[in-house]
Structure 1
Amino acid sequence: MAKRFLTALLVLLMAASASVAFAGDCLNRGQLDELYCDEDGDLVADSPKDESEWLDPSTLVFTYTPVEDPAVYRDAFADFQAYLEKATGKRVVYYTVQSNAAEVEAMRSGRLHIAGFSTGPTGFAVNLAGFVPMAVKGYADGFQGYNLIMIVRADSPYKKLEDLKGKVVAHTSASSNSGNLAPRALFPKEGLVPDKDYRVMYSGKHDQSIMGVAHGDYDAAPVASDVFDRMAEAGRIDRDDFRIIYRSAKFPTSSFGYAHNLKPELVQKIVGAFHTYRFPPAMQENFKGADRFYPVTYMADWKIIRDIAESTGTYYNKDGLKKMAAKEAAKRAKKKN
């Protein structure tokens, strides 16, 4: 009995010692899960120091953020997969995922090597799955994205956000990023607090907010720049009827990247393939004119997304992932019913 107790105690002490040693090996982890380390301070997981932990699979598994019809994007990326195979000398297969949470778990478990994650879930992939974002869809002069803009009528006296104090401003809906969440996160830093400094009225949609400003129903409205541009291009509105008094930094679209523990030489080939590939016409059509993958970093280009998430109570940790998974499951169940 005593012998078994001592043996068990020894095992526990060895495990504790190993745990301390492992923790001591990482000088900075930041918000990353305990599986990862960020000693260079770029907010993403470092490549493992131990070369035995590097992955060099014979087949690379790739996926894109889950959509209504996964087959559409599996076909859309077929040409790029062939390009990636030539660049890496490895077979590349497409792995269909049914939810953002499932995609994060697939990379965390090592079943997914290269992926495109939606803008918001990118933070979960970085912190919980060791994902390293390095590109988004874009053009020669920048990445594809959109801005939050605050619009007023051109004949109004409003020239800056602070001029809207005491006025009526149309937000779109409670869950909208550019129509509600982003304004609540970003405007206070500019001296304007929604609900406190101006009266919020929900219009329901971006186009309804825009038309409401045009008709004088609202003094102003925060809307997505791409919706505003499409309405102007379609002739539904005249740009000259509006004034833009605020424009946020650009919100990036889905991020593309790789698992942090892939062999560095393999990573170089993957990154090189992303940066040299040019979209064929059919792929450009699928992705609204984007013709390439544009280089980005999580630290710089996702800062605005992290700020919005933090100010609205979204945390890129395990609890946050569980909440996202629950919401996704509820949506799928609702669609079935």
Structure 2
Amino acid sequence: MLKRTLAVAAGVALSLTAALSQAADTLRVSAIPDEAPTELLRKFKPLGAYLEQQLDMKVEFVPVSDYAAVVEAIAADRIDLAWLGGFTFVQARLKTAGTAHPAIPLVQRAEDEKFTSKIISADPSVNSLQDLKGKTFAFGSVSSTSGSLMPRFFMLQDGINPETFFSRIAYSGAHDATAAWVQAGKADGGVLNASVWDKLVAAGKIDSDKVKVIATTPPYFDYNWTVRGTLDPVVRDKIQAAFLALDPANPEHMAILDLQAASRFIPTKAENYQGIEQAAEAAGLLK
């Protein structure tokens, strides 16, 4: 009986060791679901293949249901690397701040140093934000930096309280959904990040003769690639080096950069997102 118990225990130990070894050999990557799941996967595939080559390890994309799930996953070490918006980075950083290894931002696109949001409308009578007074308006996700937090922050700075200024507020959940709502007349106006707006117009998914930009926010820091604080520093440094090595002069690299809407990647640091944290505090979104 004892031999049998020891044999079972040994088998469990070996299985656990194998599982841990397999996990250590796989980089688990996720992203905030700010676009349709199929689009997120399309954007990630060539980047994932590039990272596998550069890191010499398997790279797995782990989709999540909402913004909060990404924050929880990186705080619980269930994912290793995540594409976060400025606000979700602040949330992840604060959630891990009391630990020995807080989440670490590695790189951002050069464009993320001065990111903006576009306020749009398909109503012919609307030519400015003030023209949307008393009309319906769509934000993206409540946790979106460019689709909710920063546009709201700038509106409040201009004396516009969205809850009283608009007749009704809705949250589409994603930038492309916001644009689709406005184009279909489900909302008189809406806000989405400038990068997704440009992509939708270029792809012909939005009729720019019908839907127009009526305002652009001031610039702010936004997206970055963040790793869990407990990730092996050697792997962490290799990931950062891989992003920084992406060269727009290389056609294969340019294809990856184009899908990421990036001219290039540059190093970033937590201090860059202090403005986002202050805006979130002012909006009462940090508990």
Assess same fold via TM > 0.5.
Answer: yes
Give the whole-Å Cα distance in 1 for the aligned partners of 2:47 and 2:284. 35
Q: Which has the higher helix share?
A: 2
CA offset at residue 135 of structure 1? 0.5
Note if 1:83 corresponds to 2:54: yes
8 Å Cα contact 2:126/2:132 also seen in 1: no
User: In the alignment, which residue of structure 1 is the partner of 2:212?
Assistant: 242
CA offset at residue 82 of structure 1? 3.1
Note if 1:147 corresponds to 2:116: yes
| Pair member with larger Rg | 1
Give the whole-Å Cα distance in 2 for the aligned partners of 1:227 and 1:270. 25
Change beyond 3 A, Cα 1:156–1:75? closer
Give the whole-Å Cα distance in 1 for the aligned partners of 2:218 and 2:48. 31
CA offset at residue 170 of structure 1? 1.8
Change beyond 3 A, Cα 1:175–1:243? closer
Note if 1:131 corresponds to 2:97: no
Matches within 5 A, 1:297-316: 297-300=269-272, 302-303=273-274, 305-307=276-278, 309-315=280-286
Change beyond 3 A, Cα 1:222–1:166? same
Note if 1:212 corresponds to 2:185: yes
Residues 90-120 of structure 1 deviation map (CA, whole Å, 9 limit, x = unaligned) = xx4547767532332218xxxx7x6234325
8 Å Cα contact 2:182/2:190 also seen in 1: yes
CA offset at residue 209 of structure 1? 1.9
Change beyond 3 A, Cα 1:283–1:130? farther
2:270 is matched by which residue type in structure 1? Y
SS of residue in 2 equivalent to 1:191:
coil
SS of residue in 2 equivalent to 1:237:
coil
Residues 12-71 of structure 1 deviation map (CA, whole Å, 9 limit, x = unaligned) = xxxxxxxxxxxxxxxxxxxxxxxxxxxxxxxxxxxxxxxxxxxxxxx7763311686999
Matched pairs, number: 236
CA offset at residue 253 of structure 1? 3.4
Residues 109-156 of structure 1 deviation map (CA, whole Å, 9 limit, x = unaligned) = xxx7x62343254334423041220203x4xx5349963222357975
SS of residue in 2 equivalent to 1:192:
coil
8 Å Cα contact 1:143/1:294 also seen in 2: no
TM-score (normalizing by structure 2)? 0.57
SS of residue in 2 equivalent to 1:106:
coil
User: In the alignment, which residue of structure 1 is the partner of 2:81?
Assistant: 115
Residues 263-311 of structure 1 deviation map (CA, whole Å, 9 limit, x = unaligned) = 6x886665444322448369628934547533323322x3454345434
Percent identity over the alignment? 14
User: In the alignment, which residue of structure 2 is the partner of 1:284?
Assistant: 256
Structure 1 gaps, min length 5: 1-58, 86-91, 321-337
TM-score (normalizing by structure 1)? 0.51
1:64 is matched by which residue type in structure 2? V
User: In the alignment, which residue of structure 2 is the partner of 1:195?
Assistant: 163
Q: RMSD in angstroms over aligned alpha carbons?
A: 4.7
User: In the alignment, which residue of structure 2 is the partner of 1:23?
Assistant: none
Segment drifting more, 289-298 vs 60-69: 60-69
CA offset at residue 245 of structure 1? 2.3
User: In the alignment, which residue of structure 1 is the partner of 2:152?
Assistant: 184
8 Å Cα contact 1:80/1:277 also seen in 2: no
User: In the alignment, which residue of structure 1 is the partner of 2:9?
Assistant: none
Give the whole-Å Cα distance in 1 for the aligned partners of 2:150 and 2:261. 26
Give the whole-Å Cα distance in 1 for the aligned partners of 2:255 and 2:82. 15
User: In the alignment, which residue of structure 2 is the partner of 1:293?
Assistant: 265
Structure 2 gaps, min length 5: 1-23
Change beyond 3 A, Cα 1:222–1:270? closer
Give the whole-Å Cα distance in 2 for the aligned partners of 1:103 and 1:191. 36
8 Å Cα contact 1:210/1:228 also seen in 2: no
